[in-house]
Structure 1
């Protein structure tokens, strides 16, 4: 509401009452005590009429000021929420940078230490010296590949955030079956432990409009995690429809995730303390969450350390606007 509008309403509120008050006062001074038929003294009637006329702009003024106050309160609440979101984003970014520093520091330290000790000790024979150099360069190559893989995964995650989705009708049941078969080419033992369970009664999951490549990438990551972190015991892949959502569960009987670290499993580069011995960049679950979110769904993880993990994907049966 503008300041000029407030002034105008204030004048409109006060003016009728002021004019009527002056008129009534003049009547009283002049001794005009004529009585209305309703037996209301004319000066009083004029005063009441002025009050009633003034009440109209007064009520408008009060309403506008209340509306302005409510608008200011909403603006303050919105600003507070935005600041809170910015603070959370800043904290997440700082955690990401700390993890990135850790992930880069280890291979770089290993490379520098290896280069420093690459020269064979004094008096070593030619064959022994060559063996030392070969071992050193193998270490350098392995660490360089680790760095390259980390950069590749980060680039892939960045591309997933922006690339257009190429949707097409996809049978989730067929996709899951193909993902399990693909797992068999990489880890036959894990494939032998994996079973697919599909609920078709009273109805099955219809084809969904999905980006086949991206969703396959997400499923492959979850299956790969189940295989990596469970060296024995079954891996169950389950598919069903529930309340307009396609539900995919991938469960294993592996090492599980510590309870204190469950809240951060989808953060970039996050790795549980009991997973350090398994190769990985910590990007996989972030990638899965990005793909599923871009399809209008969500993903969650339930886990008990020492017992196993269940990753649950929910995808809308019908594409949401």
Structure 2
């Protein structure tokens, strides 16, 4: 059968043997790594499968998730307040916010957790009252601020300093003209922030916040500095020391961290698609975000409006 188009160019892709060789090398190295993991008797996979669903490990996972979710929730609230203070016209608000971020970002989180553990030594009694005046309520610090609360506050106060810069970057990414237009319509500053600025800033805030959440999950392994001894890393480490088999219990901790991290990454991807609506994300629409399955694409909507022709060369071709 003859070709209906004369002198058609039958292009062939340029051969790239380097890519094939590189892929083979990577596959061989990956196979060697998997083989070394499976066949190495030091990992004691029988112990790993035995204690992978141990009740102590499962309970430790629950405490780790509570620490992660609680500290991130408190840190997000504090970060929004710090970011607003950084953008305030009041120099005192800006100064306090800057000093807070400077201090908690400049000192290691492990050192901060140690100080939180020593809070009852530094301040044996805490009170609520008029500054430099009478006290209304007082209580013992070690009774109220237990190891759990010290670990949660220590993680949250540290994380708030990093999230504050993320939130500030997201707020800055929104065109200031939108806030000015909303203010011209009579909207209050709080309403503008909640209804106009924050929803658009979430597209910039969500991805790094998801990364910080995953990082927080792993940072909970440092709460031994408080000391808090119910988290996943400490629980598996204690079992490994009791059995004189630290390596298989470290493998168990790593596997559970990987499972939880994978779930958080899936949730993060859905949040990014949700807040990325309207920015050319056709994949998000196909998965149910930004309209029903029958909603036309942007190009189809333009053609349906009748403002363009089907043939893009019709107007210029003689």
Q: Could you say whether these structures have the same fold, taking a TM-score greater than 0.5 normalized by the shorter chain as the test?
A: no
Higher strand fraction (1 or 2):
1
Say which structure, 1 or 2, has more relative contact order (CA 8 Å, 6+ apart): 2
TM-score bracket, normalised by the shorter chain, equals: under 0.3
Structure with bigger gyration radius = 1
Q: What TM-score does the superposition give when structure 1 sets the normalisation length?
A: 0.23
Q: What TM-score does the superposition give when structure 2 sets the normalisation length?
A: 0.23
Higher helix fraction (1 or 2):
2
